[in-house]
Structures are given as C-alpha cells and as structure tokens.
Amino acid sequence: MAESTAGIDSLGDLRGKRVLVRSDLNVPLDGTTITDDGRIRASVPTIRQLSDAGARVVVTAHLGRPKGAPDPAYSLEPVAGRLSELLGRPVAFATDTVGASASETVTGLEDGDVALLENVRFNDGETSKDDDVRGAFADQLAQLADAFVSDGFGVVHRKQASVYDVALRLPSAMGGLVAAEVDVLRRLTEEPERPYVVVLGGSKVSDKLGVIDNLIDKADKLLIGGGMVFTFLKAQGHEVGKSLLEADQLDTCTRYLEEAADRGVEILLPTDVVVDTAFPSGDREPQPTVVPASEIPADALGLDIGPESAAAFAAALADARTVFWNGPMGVFETDAFASGTRAVAQALTEVTTSGGLSVVGGGDSAAAVRQLGFDEAAFGHISTGGGASLEFLEGKELPGIAVLERG
C-alpha cells in the first residue's frame, strides 16, 4: 500500500482541488440492476482516500460499448447509486460527460464531495483513433479538474482520452488500485517465487498466444482447460467432436507442446472432459457425461474438464508458491459444468493459505470466483482487468501506465 499512497501524495495538498479520477466501473447490468459490483467495490478505496483528503472528486468511467453517443442501456446512473452506498456519502450524478450538466455538477462540489460523470464513451472522442479528436475531448475533460488520478486498471491498455490523453494535460498520479495491480503483475514476471504455475482457460487459444509466448520460459507448469484445450487435444491427434476448435492454431499448439518439452516446462492437459450434445441454453436440461479426453464422441462438445483432470490440476497446484489463473475451466455459469473451475479456485485458496501468491486474472475468472461463492479475501489478488493483465504479462507496453511513468 505504501507505493499506491505515494502516488497520490505526489500531487500535494488536494484540499479544495478538483481531482478527475478514471475508475473502472464497467459492471454487468440486468436492466438497471447491477449483478456483480466487484469493480465498484475495488474503486472505492482510492475515491474515499481523495474525498477524505478534501478533494472535490470527479469520477469518470465507461460501461459497455456504446457507439460514441448516449444510450440509456449503458447509463452509469445505477452505478452512482451503488457507489454512494459503498462510500456512505452522496454521489452527485452528471447526465453528460463534458456538457452543461457536468460543468454544473462539478461547480457545485464542496471539499470532500464526489461526483460521477455519465458514461465517458457516450462521446466519440473517448475511443477515437484520431489523436486530434481524442485530444480535443481530453481538453474538455481536463477543464473540469486540477489534477488526474488513474485508477481504472481494466482500461490502462487502451490509448483513450480519459486514460492516456488527460494524463498529458494535468498533474497526474497512479491510484491505489492501479499501483497494486502493477505491483502484483510484476511479481509474476520478475523473479516469481517457485514453483510457478500458470493456469489458462477460456474459449480461445488465440486470446492467450502472447501470454503463453512470454511465460512458457518463466513458468514451471502450464495447466490448460476451458474451450481452448480442444485445439491442443486436436493437435495431439485426438478427435474433439463438436467442441470449440481453432483449426488455424493447431500448428501453434504443436509448437507450444514441443517448446515446453524442450524447456522442461510441464504442460498439463485434461485426461477426461465433461461433454453434452448441446451448449447450455434455455429450458433444456443439461445432460453431462464424463468421457476420456481422447474419446470425445462425434456428436458431443466438451464443456468442462472432468473430475480426474480437476483432481490432477489441484494436485499440480498443491506445492505452488506463485499461481496466475486466467480463464474458467468450463461453462461455469451452468452448475453441471462448473466443477473444474470450482476445483481450480479452491486450489488457489489453498495456495494462499500456505503462504503463496495466488492471482486471479480478472474477467471471467474473477466473475467465476464470485458466482461460485468464494470469499475474495481467500485469494492473494483478484485483478479488475482481464485484458490489461494479459497484455502486461505478454510484455506489452500499457499506454495508461507508460504515460504516468514518463511523467
């Protein structure tokens, strides 16, 4: 925490100052009901720190992918209500990003007050690829503040107005959430404590290519599940039925298997899988069947790793001192196909209990942890940015971090 506090402290005395905070409040909604408030809760400490320091806090964030224009389905108004509940103080809500409502709302703030601007992606300047268009919008955002704090880790891999360009226009600092994320991810790439195990799942091998490339010479073990595993199984010569398959990645998977063997890195693939003849949907009752990974029927698709594989994955994690996990092992949203993901999550909690570092890499993995009822405190770190954490581990420069480090 010392590092994160020093970041904001570098801005000096903030009492009476307007501080624009870029948070990640991109939460799932069912209508206007927030179904997972994890990212809001993660954003609270930095907002509270600034408010307690007497700053006039102006929070900007996005929700979903509106097309650069207002869309009620993506309004942040429900988020303002939940943020207010978590902070225990009112949160003023501006109904636009840089217009009359934003100006009036910010002008009305007293020391310690908090405001939330409407979805920043309602303005097409936020995500524009044109530097001038994006910069013009950043100019308008900057006029609302005296300083900027970057605290939305889930967007630091985006070169966007409220993430990158604003930091060029105002005295800027890294918020506590971003600082903590960067610190943990550096521990995964710079001399991690061993044994170091990486667990990858999710649907596509192509989403994880950079991570595998960068970590295959750093990890001791690589455990692979989820939809991406079927391309690996196919590369080994197994039939995978109707399972998800990226035929254009077969040679890549073969290369990874050979490279791991050459480097002495163990790649562990499932020996059994849970299959069904259809993807879970509607009122259809799931009909799960466990089969050997080498004997998937032609009319079936794999939807989870099997119990034998779940036990093997847990055993492979038992002595780990450092674990990074990104991507569920199966379709965890359906209980019949959640056991593999549950087993991996449970194994990570045991790594934490034994004094190791367990990191859940955001996105669907973080959602799975919460949906399956695990105590978030049982994990060493749950990232708020799936895409950002992957790009960091790929060794890529993250624009929202680079701009702060360059000062």
So which residues are the catalytic ones?
Answer: 39, 204, 363, 387
Q: Is 26 annotated as a binding residue?
A: yes
Q: Is 263 annotated as a binding residue?
A: no
Q: Is 365 annotated as a binding residue?
A: yes
Q: Is 63 annotated as a binding residue?
A: yes
Q: Is 11 annotated as a binding residue?
A: no
Q: Is 223 annotated as a binding residue?
A: no
Q: Is 64 annotated as a binding residue?
A: yes
Q: Is 141 annotated as a binding residue?
A: no
Among candidate residues 81, 27, 61, the one with its CA nearest the CA of residue 149: 61
Beta bridge partners of 150: 22, 174
Q: How far apart are CA 162 and CA 152, in angstroms?
A: 10
Q: Is 121 annotated as a binding residue?
A: yes
Amino acid at the residue 393: L
Q: Is 362 annotated as a binding residue?
A: yes
Q: Is 333 annotated as a binding residue?
A: yes
Q: Is 125 annotated as a binding residue?
A: no
Q: Is 364 annotated as a binding residue?
A: yes
Q: How far apart are CA 305 and CA 272, in angstroms?
A: 6
Amino acid at the residue 63: L
SS3 annotation, the chain: CHHHHHHHHCCCCCCCCEEEEECCCCCCEECCEECCCHHHHHHHHHHHHHHHCCCEEEEECCCCCCCCCCCHHHCCHHHHHHHHHHHCCCEEECCCCCCHHHHHHHHCCCCCCEEECCCHHHCCCCCCCCHHHHHHHHHHHHCCCCEEEECCHHHCCCCCHHHHHHHHCCCEEECHHHHHHHHHHHHHHCCCCCCEEEEECCCCHHHCHHHHHHHCCCCCEEEECCCCHHHHHHHCCCCCCCCCCCHHHHHHHHHHHHHHHHHCCEEECCCEEEEECCCCCCCCCCCCEEEECCCCCCCCEEEEECHHHHHHHHHHHCCCCEEEEECCCCCCCCHHHCHHHHHHHHHHHHHHHCCCEEEECCHHHHHHHHHCCCCHHHCCEECCCHHHHHHHHCCCCCHHHHHHHCC
- Number of C-beta neighbours around residue 101 at 10 A: 16
Q: What are phi and psi of 229, to 5 degrees?
A: -65, -25
Q: Is 62 annotated as a binding residue?
A: yes
Its sign, for the CA torsion 253, 257, 263, 269, is: positive
Q: How far apart are CA 194 and CA 321, in angstroms?
A: 5
Q: Is 65 annotated as a binding residue?
A: yes
Sequence ranges of the binding site for ATP: 208, 302, 333, 362-365
Sequence ranges of the binding site for substrate: 24-26, 39, 62-65, 121, 158
